[in-house]
Amino acid sequence: MKTALPILAGMLLSGCVPRIEVAAPKEPITINMNVKIEHEIVIKADKDVQTLLKNGEDAPLRQ
């Protein structure tokens, strides 16, 4: 009886093997994104450049 108990315990524990399964879903993954993107561009210019733009002159800047 002393040897039957470890054998019986071994047989019971050998049937409890954890099973891990990795499978892809049957349906495709859908991601709904409602995104609103707004841009604001600010350009800063020197006073010389601002005066050239206001006057419409094609003269080059002083160096």
Percent of the chain past pLDDT 90, that is, above it, reads 8
pLDDT-derived band at 59, boundaries 50, 70, 90: low
61 touches 52 (CB < 8 A): yes
pTM above threshold 0.85: no
Residue 6 backbone dihedrals phi, psi, to 5 degrees: -65, -35
If you ran DSSP here, which 8-state letter would residue 15 be given?
T
3-state secondary structure at position 59: coil
Return d(Cα 42, Cα 40) in angstroms, integer: 7
52 touches 59 (CB < 8 A): yes
pLDDT digits (tens, 9 = 90+) for 13-33: 666 667 788 888 889 888 888
Q: Who wins on pLDDT, 61 or 40?
A: 40
